[in-house]
Chains A and B, each alone.
Chain A
Amino acid sequence: QVQLVQSGAEVKKPGSSVKVSCKASGGTFSNFAISWVRQAPGQGLEWMGGIIPIFGIANYAQKFQGRVTITTDQLTSTAYMELRSLRSEDTAVYYCARDLAAGFDFWGQGTLVIVSS
């Protein structure tokens, strides 16, 4: 059974950066893609980007291009999402999810990021 465990909640100042981790267990980490999805309070789901660890190539939603970087560490089976130049609108729960090109079948528990001065 695949499990994705994310890092804890963060409070950040506007203009700063946040890096959220997502550690996978069960399954072969290199063989599946990881996507990052965020959800602002009371809002819907928004795909930010994804990566296939074995290739190390990330794709990003145009909205986040230049401000987000998704990476992986295959040694620790951990994916990371770094978002820079934070603003209040980035306050959201950030999820990682396993992407098998057949939907996102396993999700992390979510990481709340609050951006506030």
Chain B
Amino acid sequence: EIVLTQSPGTLSLSPGERATLSCRASQSVSSSYLAWYQQKPGQAPRLLIYGASSRATGIPDRFSGSGSGTDFTLTISRLEPEDFAVYYCQQYNSSPPYTFGQGTKLEIK
């Protein structure tokens, strides 16, 4: 089973700043089968990025994903007030299980 480790656990930033979130896999994630989700309190997760770098439908271009192999990054170029939430990475390699990272909480400084 592939274990995903996200860092930092909590990130405190101000609106307008740049956010960089990391996700490291215990073994290579093939074909960049890596996704990022945003979750706000009381809501279901929302898909932001799939294939490590492709934005899902309707996702603003301030969100971008990068990386390959075992190291992946989600970048939010200029934080908007609605971006403060918890972010999860997920690997969906060619066969299950499809594991999630433990999450990074992005909070207002």
- Identify the stretch in B15-23, B77-85, B88-96 within 8 Å (CB) of chain A at 4 or more residues: B88-96
CA distance A46 to B80 in the complex (A): 28
Q: Which stretch in A12-20, A80-88, A103-111 binds the other chain?
A: A103-111
Q: Is A104 touching B97 in the complex (CB atoms < 8 A)?
A: no
The reply to whether the CB of B1 lies closer than 8 angstroms to some CB of chain A is: yes
Nearest-CB residue, chain A, relative to B36: A103
What is the predominant secondary structure among interface residues of chain A facing chain B? strand
- For chain A, the count of residues having a C-beta within 8 Å of the partner chain is 24
Could you say which residues of chain A place their CB within 8 Å of the CB of B45? 37, 45, 95, 97, 104, 107
Sample of 11 A–B contacts (CB below 8 Å) = A37-B45, A37-B100, A45-B39, A45-B45, A46-B100, A95-B44, A102-B35, A104-B35, A105-B50, A107-B46, A108-B44
Sorted nearest first, the 9 A-B pairs with minimum C-beta distance are: A103-B50, A103-B35, A107-B44, A59-B96, A45-B100, A102-B50, A61-B97, A103-B47, A47-B98
A53 sits at the interface (CB 8 A): no
- Kindly state the interface size class of chain B when it binds its partner: 20 to 34
Q: Which of A61, A102, A104 touches B51 (beta carbons < 8 Å)?
A: A102
Q: Flag whether A28 is at the interface (Cβ < 8 A).
A: no
Q: Is the interface of B mostly helix, strand, loop or mixed?
A: loop
Closest residue on chain A to residue B44 by CB atoms: A107
Chain A nearest CB: distance from B31 CB in Å?
A: 10
User: Are A61 and B44 interface neighbours, CB within 8 A?
Assistant: no
Residues on B with beta carbons closer than 8 Å to the beta carbon of A104? 35, 37, 45, 47, 90
Q: Please, how many angstroms separate the alpha-carbon atoms of A35 and B97 in the complex?
A: 11
Given contacts A44-B102, A102-B51, contact A109 B44 (CB under 8 A): yes
Q: When the two chains form their complex, are residues A44 and B100 in contact, meaning their CB atoms are under 8 A apart?
A: yes
Q: A44-B88, A47-B97 are in contact. List 10 more A-B contacts (CB 8 A).
A: A45-B100, A45-B103, A50-B96, A59-B97, A102-B54, A103-B35, A103-B49, A104-B47, A104-B90, A107-B46
Task: Kindly state the separation between the CA atoms of A97 and B39 in the bound complex, as whole angstroms.
Answer: 14
Q: Does A44 contact B96, Cβ atoms closer than 8 Å? A: no
Residues of B close to A105: CB separation below 8 A = 47, 50, 56-57
